[in-house]
Amino acid sequence: AQKVTQAQTEISVVEKEDVTLDCVYETRDTTYYLFWYKQPPSGELVFLIRRNSFDEQNEISGRYSWNFQKSTSSFNFTITASQVVDSAVYFCALSEQAAGNKLTFGGGTRVLVKP
């Protein structure tokens, strides 16, 4: 069965600090996909990134970067030079090809960026 664990429930930082969100997953499938979504106070989930299990290259998009390590089943997310607008709940999610690509979400990490 697929499972996603986000051990950090809440992180508080001061603006311009870096923040790293941890995500650990469990799956028995060899083909799977990992996602990060952002949920701002408005409530709508916003897609940030998708990685497949065969591509372990790290990715950078502006102030966001992702570190995928199959050896430790982790897919961590770093926000560099955080801004107040980054305040939100961030969810890591997993989908298995064998399970019809349905998403299993972690419990989320609330990030609070203080000015």
Partner 1 sequence: EAGVAQSPRYKIIEKRQSVAFWCNPISGHATLYWYQQILGQGPKLLIQFQNNGVVDDSQLPKDRFSAERLKGVDSTLKIQPAKLEDSAVYLCASSLSLAGPHEQYFGPGTRLTVT
Residues whose CB is less than 8 angstroms from the CB of residue 39 and which lie 6 or more positions away in sequence, other chains included:
45, 46, 88, 89, 90, 91, 108
The window from 12-20, 55-63, 75-83, 99-107 that contacts partner 1 (CB under 8 A) reads: 99-107
Q: Does 102 bind partner 1 (CB under 8 A)?
A: yes
| 97 forms part of the interface with partner 1 (CB under 8 A) | yes
Look up residue 104 and give its amino acid.
Answer: T
- The answer to whether 33 and 53 have CB atoms below 8 angstroms apart is yes
To partner 1, the closest distance from the beta carbon of 42 in angstroms equals: 7
Shortest gap between Cβ of 75 and partner 1 (angstroms)?
14
